[in-house]
């Protein structure tokens, strides 16, 4: 086993750190290694880092994909010891220290798996095409297409019942994603599109949030949940807590509370409910001889490596990391970033050997979620905020976090404009040609 | 036949003007009719108006699609007599004054066909998938994907010959589109990506413009052409005039001059050569019993209507309109806009009868094209400009033309940023998963 002294020996070959995933965790690891005597390769199947916390803004036409996606190469361009590989990872050969790619392979000395998460339909994968989730740029543009097409088809629909279904939006999941989407949809219906149509009133749109737990934003303190729910309701959004989705089919969803069941006719269902780890988690687990949890998260040691594999780390949403009390850490960018920094610190000390380092501890600097126009909830330490001040805080923190200076300015301007004018300039419908199912003779 | 007096009679039904296409011509017609006693419907298969002169900026990662695409509904939202229909036009029943849609039909009193143009491969439609043209947002994002993927695959390619082909970009057509694309590509290779790769030097990229005519920008005065060609060459771009493309195949193009033939190995061919009218031109011609020219343009009278059909107009790139000397007008936004205004004037005077109006005359206010970073050519009346001043002129005119205020400011900022930093922030690769054909073992 190599010791710190031998590592700095210039005669030794430079260890190769391969990072899978250019998200918050992977990127932080790479950047923190800029002065270490290692070679770093970031492998990602996209050429960009995605600022996921603002993805709902793309899905609702407030921002363009490029506003929140920065080329990974541009981020690490000045880091001489780092290269970027645009490739799809297909598996792991841990015995030989090889990463298997769709079109080749890559040898590593240290592997950092930071491949993130995808959505989970809780065993109902057939709901996928009917209720898109929000994890990728493609998801966001698909949701944008569906939302704006719903208004377009309603405009041409003569039957009032069918029109009502087209103007009904059901959001499954009352977590931050669901609440953010609902808030933005309410803005779209009540302000952005107010004057755009001639045969419908966009304000007739009905927006429902369906949440199985007793509260929206269930991970926040109860007081904050209640105030958030009040705010959401004041925006005309129906909140159905203690409610489960039992069926999603073309044209309707079936909802169930503990004592009753009802059907909501709708053409647009959005999924913000469950997440599961990237399928790479299960593959690595099999290769390392460990078991993932039900959602596919990899178990890691206090040093964030896989048990029995000191040169393989798993960080961010793909791993389950327990806090002091034994509770798993939440799937937040802040967790991934701190883990990335921690792994980089371990590797700087001793690239292939981390037992001497103190275990990872997450420093909770607070969490926050927006609700809609100028409203948010935030928890910082023991302090709780709800409303405009929380929103300013949210805005400030998110702008500061965005990687590239230009995007920050453009986003601020775009928001400033949207805020003053209720406009959403990115509401173009791209992708698949509009298919308007029910023909209507638009008479003269 | 109705006279102006009877039209203003409130007892008469309001004539229905149906405009096919929300481009420059169609939109101008609609907007100019805002005070007329007509009902206007704009039919378009997209929900946005596209500012095509800047499409090459999207194709090269300088701007986002939404920067140059404005929802048509937003543009006419305050025009009470105008509605927008998102629909695909499939044909015409001129005997019954009916527009046939993919999912219905629409009756009109007056029809204005402003469906624009698409690219033409001069009978080689099989070249389409190999050499994408630049007319739609989908075209632009596809070109962007190919350009940036070419550098990505080259980065991973160990064979020097294959790598050279991946870094060779052939642009067919030396008109404004071809020259603009080539200029932007040269900037990308020499500045934007300079530090991004570790195994290739992006400045090794070879960029060729192939033009059958004796000059680039063949429609400009010869002196200006020569100066433009000098500028283009000074950017390291190879200019092949008097040269035809005789074959496009995966991996190479075959070029021919009058006395020789040669093959250029390349993985990226972009098409900026020919245009033809939208297929709707031929359909309307058949319905009206007239003949289009070879490129599918509709012949129109001096009043811009189809011979024998006083209530059917064709404007913009779909029509051939002759100037005083009998030469067809160029396919410019300015022509379409002036024609739209002219048609609106005819209709305001007398919706279904335009014989009393003076024939349309195009007022040439000048033309311009950019070449690259801070260089353009412009012709305004008898004055000619080339270089930085022409570029400032170009910038000013194009910003002023863009429909929506917000986009104007954002584009200006984005350009300012790009200009100072050589950055292109919109170079994310979307769409189809990257398929990297030749596997390579990226060794440790």
Listed in sequence order, the DSSP H helices in B60-112 are: 65-68, 72-76
Map residue B17 onto helix, strand or coil: strand
Query: Minimal Cα–Cα distance from A37 to chain B, Å?
Result: 15
Sheet holding B110-113, edge to edge: B82-86, B39-44, B16-20, B110-113, B309-314, B305-306
pLDDT at A395 (0 to 100): 83
Q: Any idea which fold A120-275+367-421 has?
A: FAD/NAD(P)-binding domain (3.50.50)
Given A16, A77, A410, which is nearest B410 (Cβ)?
Answer: A410
Model ipTM value? 0.86
Band of pLDDT at residue A9, cut at 50, 70 and 90: low
Band of pLDDT at residue A162, cut at 50, 70 and 90: very high
Range B185-203 average pLDDT: 93
pLDDT at A438 (0 to 100): 37
Nearest in space to A88 (alpha carbons), one of B435, B278, B364, B118: B435
Euclidean distance between CA atoms A27 and A338, whole angstroms: 11
Q: What is the DSSP letter of B322?
A: B
Using CB atoms within 10 A of its CB, is residue B286 exposed (0-12), middle (13-18) or buried (19+)?
middle
Map residue B398 onto helix, strand or coil: helix
Q: Do B436 and A137 touch (CB under 8 A)?
A: no
Sign, CA dihedral B184-B190-B194-B198, equals: positive
**Chain B residue nearest residue A50, CA to CA:** B428
- Could you give phi then psi for residue A325, rounded to 5 degrees? -85, 0
Query: Minimal Cα–Cα distance from B439 to chain A, Å?
Result: 5
Q: What is the DSSP letter of A52?
A: G
The CATH architecture of the domain made up of B4-45+87-116+278-349 is 3-Layer(bba) Sandwich (3.50)
Q: Give pLDDT tens digits for A58-77.
A: 999 888 898 889 899 989 99
Q: How far is CA B308 from the centre of its chain?
A: 30
**Chain A residue nearest residue B73, CA to CA:** A196
Given A180, A187, A267, A310, the catalytic residue: A180
The residues with which A209 forms a beta bridge, in sequence order, are A171, A239
B14 CB neighbours in chain A (<8 A) are: none
Residue of B41, B425, B441 to mutate, testing the A interface (most A Cβ within 10 Å of its Cβ):
B425
Range A427-442 average pLDDT: 50
Q: How far is CA A313 from CA A168, A298, A299, B54, in A?
A: 44, 10, 10, 46
Band of pLDDT at residue A1, cut at 50, 70 and 90: very low
Range B14-42 average pLDDT: 96
Mean of all residue pLDDT scores within chain B: 88
pLDDT at A396 (0 to 100): 84
Do A4-8+15-119+276-349 and A120-275+367-421 share a fold? yes
Query: Minimal Cα–Cα distance from B58 to chain A, Å?
Result: 11
Q: Give pLDDT tens digits for A176-195.
A: 999 999 999 999 999 889 89
Least trusted range by pLDDT, from A158-172, A194-208, B317-331, B427-441: B427-441
Question: Cβ–Cβ contacts within 10 Å for residue A197, how many?
Answer: 18
A103 contacts A87 by C-beta, under 8 angstroms: yes
B197 CB neighbours in chain A (<8 A) are: 73
- Highest averaged pLDDT of the listed ranges A425-439, B5-19, B78-92: B78-92
- The yes/no answer on whether domain B125-273 falls in CATH 3.30.70.580 is no
Euclidean distance between CA atoms B402 and B391, whole angstroms: 17
B64 CB neighbours in chain A (<8 A) are: 64-67, 426
Which residues of B are known to be catalytic? 180
B73 CB neighbours in chain A (<8 A) are: 193, 196-197
What tokens does B258 get? 């009058």
Band of pLDDT at residue A407, cut at 50, 70 and 90: low
CA quadruple A47, A53, A59, A60: dihedral, nearest 10 = -140
**Chain A residue nearest residue B199, CA to CA:** A83
Band of pLDDT at residue A437, cut at 50, 70 and 90: very low
Q: Do A137 and B428 touch (CB under 8 A)?
A: yes
Residue B3 clears pLDDT 50, i.e. is over it: no
Q: Do B64 and A64 touch (CB under 8 A)?
A: yes
Euclidean distance between CA atoms B423 and A404, whole angstroms: 11
Euclidean distance between CA atoms A206 and A210, whole angstroms: 13
Nearest in space to B427 (alpha carbons), one of B60, B55, B53: B60
Nearest in space to A268 (alpha carbons), one of A161, A177, A174, A149: A149
Range A150-155 average pLDDT: 96
Superfamily of domain A4-8+15-119+276-349: FAD/NAD(P)-binding domain (3.50.50.60)
Band of pLDDT at residue B4, cut at 50, 70 and 90: very low
Band of pLDDT at residue B217, cut at 50, 70 and 90: very high
**Chain B residue nearest residue A195, CA to CA:** B77
A407 contacts B69 by C-beta, under 8 angstroms: no
- Cβ-Cβ contacts under 8 Å between A and B: the total is 170
pLDDT at B268 (0 to 100): 97
pLDDT at A433 (0 to 100): 42
A417 CB neighbours in chain B (<8 A) are: 406
Element of type H or E holding B283: helix B279-288
Domain locations in chain B as residue ranges: 4-45+87-116+278-349, 125-273
Band of pLDDT at residue B73, cut at 50, 70 and 90: very high
Mean of all residue pLDDT scores within chain A: 88
Band of pLDDT at residue B79, cut at 50, 70 and 90: very high
Query: Minimal Cα–Cα distance from B247 to chain A, Å?
Result: 30
């Amino acid at each position: 086993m190599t010791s710190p002294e031998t590592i700095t020996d210039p005669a030794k070959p430079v260890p190769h750190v391969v990072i899978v995933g250019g998200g918050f965790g992977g990127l932080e690891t790479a950047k923190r290694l800029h002065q270490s005597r290692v070679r770093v390769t970031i492998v990602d199947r996209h050429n960009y880092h995605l600022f996921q916390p603002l993805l709902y803004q793309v899905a609702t036409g407030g921002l363009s994909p490029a506003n929140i996606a920065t080329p990974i190469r541009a981020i690490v361009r000045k880091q001489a010891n780092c290269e970027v590989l645009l490739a799809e990872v297909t598996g792991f050969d841990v015995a030989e220290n090889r990463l298997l790619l769709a079109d080749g392979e890559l040898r590593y000395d240290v592997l950092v798996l930071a491949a993130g998460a995808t959505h989970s339909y809780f065993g109902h994968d057939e709901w996928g095409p009917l209720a898109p989730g929000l994890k990728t740029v493609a998801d966001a543009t698909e949701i944008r297409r569906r939302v704006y097409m719903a208004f377009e088809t309603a405009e041409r629909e003569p039957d009032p019942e069918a029109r009502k279904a087209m103007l009904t939006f059901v959001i499954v999941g009352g977590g931050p994603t669901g609440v953010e989407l609902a808030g933005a949809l309410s803005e779209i219906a009540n302000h952005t599109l107010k004057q755009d149509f001639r045969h419908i009133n966009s304000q007739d749109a009905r927006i429902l949030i369906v949440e199985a737990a007793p509260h929206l934003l269930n991970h926040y303190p109860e007081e904050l949940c209640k105030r958030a729910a009040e705010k959401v309701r004041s925006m005309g959004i129906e909140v159905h807590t203690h409610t489960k989705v039992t069926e999603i089919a073309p044209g309707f969803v079936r909802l169930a509370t503990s004592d009753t069941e009802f059907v909501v006719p709708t053409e647009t269902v959005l999924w913000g409910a469950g997440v599961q780890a990237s399928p790479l988690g299960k593959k690595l687990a099999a290769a390392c001889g460990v078991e993932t949890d039900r959602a596919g998260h990899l178990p890691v040691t206090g040093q964030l490596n896989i048990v029995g594999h000191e040169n393989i780390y798993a960080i961010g949403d793909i791993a389950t990391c327990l806090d002091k009390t034994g509770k798993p850490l939440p799937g937040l960018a802040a967790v991934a970033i701190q883990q990335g920094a921690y792994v980089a610190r371990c590797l700087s000390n001793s690239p292939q050997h981390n037992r001497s380092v103190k275990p990872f501890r997450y420093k909770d600097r607070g969490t926050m979620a927006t609700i809609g126009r100028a409203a948010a909830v935030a928890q910082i330490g023991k302090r709780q905020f709800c409303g405009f001040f929380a929103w300013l805080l949210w805005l400030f923190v998110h702008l500061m976090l965005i990687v590239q200076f230009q995007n920050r300015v453009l986003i601020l301007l775009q928001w400033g404009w949207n805020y003053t004018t209720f406009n959403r300039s990115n509401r173009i419908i791209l992708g698949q040609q509009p298919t308007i199912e029910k023909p209507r003779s638009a008479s003269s």
